[in-house]
Amino acid sequence: MRTFSDRALAIQPTGVRKMFDLAGDDVISFGLGEPDFQPPPVAIEAFHQAMLDGRNKYTTTAGLPELRRKIAESWSSYQTDMDEQNVCITMSGTNALLNLFLTLVNPGDNVLLPEPYFPLYGPDVSIAGGKARYYPCLFDNEFIPSVEDLEHLVDENTVAILYNFPSNPTGGTLDESQRDELLDFAQRHNLWLISDEVYDRIVFDGPHVSFMGTGYERVLLVNSFSKTFAMTGWRMGYIISTNLEAMQQIIKMQYYITACSTDAMQYGILTAMNQASEYPDVLAKEFKQRCDLIVERLNAMPGVECHKPKGAIYVFPRVTVPNMTSEDIAMELLKDGVLCSPGSAFGPSGEGHLRFAYTISQEDITRGMDKVEATLRRLQSQ
């Protein structure tokens, strides 16, 4: 008897959740990567008011035109001349990613994905019937991929490449010349370029370097309100592109995924963008201080080397304890009251690393790092 689809059987729960599910309530959690803030109050009020005003209906599939126009405008320093037709609101970045793979990938196609990775990419490609091919983003190269590695992976069945900067889990960010090299690779091979820029507003040194505005007509940008407005539970994101032919296909696909996004919530987000536009910068300022603190602490510990990220909300230090895997170390830390993610949960190149999300207060980071230091000293001396 056939039970479940090959598609369902081929995907596994992620390692990040595995640790989280083992943790009790009393741990200091550097686990999931969820900002410890609430959305701007004006957004919550506008969301509430919109429901009271009867905005409880289906909207057009691509979303509220005013919100789509606002989003297009928010990218105008990168790309002028975009308007509502260039934007499809989705129910999260997660939804946007699945939409794109379903829209672009046929069975037998392959997609180039970063590794260490945000754990949804590979399973999404597999759900769409394609094969993931992973390109390494290594510590020794500040987590930036090399074009040489990409050239070894690409073939005539490669339809797309996904870039994610600032990166989850590594915190890696691009400068303009690195961006141009990666763009040139995608252009030379005529690939769809999916750019996951959900951390675009959480950058610490200078403006975010985007693939938007580069002139390549196959760029499809994924974004989310989850991190920038601290509304992970709202599940709102979008796809934006100058390619209107692609947008038509994407919007058609979105209809079959969710029909449309939540009506009233889109008013909440519009209000956040209009009336609390500085909010992401306030968060980014706090994240930068936390980042400085955690990097300094980690680099003072035995067996630990940590780059200082220029964006996102994660550090991905190399942590070496003889004869222990990253999962062994993460388990020891959990026993001592600290939750983090083993690097191996993000792919084979993550082995030898731990991921700490600095989504807790500076006091908690300090308490957590005291514990990490004590555990590592104990493990190193065994």
Residues that bind ligand PLP (CB under 6 A): 33, 92-94, 118, 164, 168, 196, 198, 224, 226, 232, 237
Instruction: Spell out the residues 6+ positions from residue 113 whose beta carbon is closer than 8 angstroms to its own.
Output: 121, 122, 125, 132, 133, 134, 135, 161, 162
The minimum distance between CB 253 and ligand PLP, in angstroms, equals 17
Alpha helices in 28-87 (DSSP H): 41-52, 65-74
Q: What is the dihedral of CA 15, 21, 25, 31, to 10 degrees?
A: 10
The interaxial angle of helices 244-258 and 93-104, nearest 10 deg, is 110
The minimum distance between CB 135 and ligand PLP, in angstroms, equals 16
The minimum distance between CB 343 and ligand PLP, in angstroms, equals 15
Give the nearer residue to ligand PLP in terms of CB position, either 198 or 376. Answer: 198
Give the nearer residue to ligand PLP in terms of CB position, either 139 or 346. Answer: 346
Closest CA to 48 of 304, 343, 262, 365: 262
Closest CA to 147 of 177, 167, 120: 177
The minimum distance between CB 346 and ligand PLP, in angstroms, equals 11
The minimum distance between CB 33 and ligand PLP, in angstroms, equals 5
3-state secondary structure at position 353: strand
Give the nearer residue to ligand PLP in terms of CB position, either 315 or 379. Answer: 315
The minimum distance between CB 380 and ligand PLP, in angstroms, equals 31
The minimum distance between CB 171 and ligand PLP, in angstroms, equals 11
The minimum distance between CB 118 and ligand PLP, in angstroms, equals 4
Give the nearer residue to ligand PLP in terms of CB position, either 194 or 321. Answer: 194
Give the nearer residue to ligand PLP in terms of CB position, either 178 or 375. Answer: 178
Give the nearer residue to ligand PLP in terms of CB position, either 195 or 375. Answer: 195
* Tokens read off for 69: 């126009």
- Considering just the CA atoms, what is the radius of gyration of the chain in Å? 21
The minimum distance between CB 90 and ligand PLP, in angstroms, equals 8
Buried b (16+ CB within 10 A) or exposed e, 184-196: ebbbebebbbbbb
Give the nearer residue to ligand PLP in terms of CB position, either 234 or 267. Answer: 234
Which region holds residue 174: left if phi is over 0, alpha if psi is between -120 and 50, else beta? beta
Closest CA to 82 of 209, 240, 223, 208: 240
Distance CA 17, CA 341 (A): 9
Give the nearer residue to ligand PLP in terms of CB position, either 94 or 326. Answer: 94
Distance CA 30, CA 378 (A): 20
The minimum distance between CB 203 and ligand PLP, in angstroms, equals 14
Give the nearer residue to ligand PLP in terms of CB position, either 312 or 376. Answer: 312
Beta pairing, strands 158-164 & 110-115: parallel
Distance CA 359, CA 17 (A): 16
Closest CA to 114 of 87, 84, 89, 146: 146
Closest CA to 150 of 138, 136, 139, 140: 136
Report the DSSP beta bridge partners of residue 132: 111
Give the nearer residue to ligand PLP in terms of CB position, either 196 or 327. Answer: 196
Residue 273 — φ and ψ, nearest 5°?
A: -70, -35
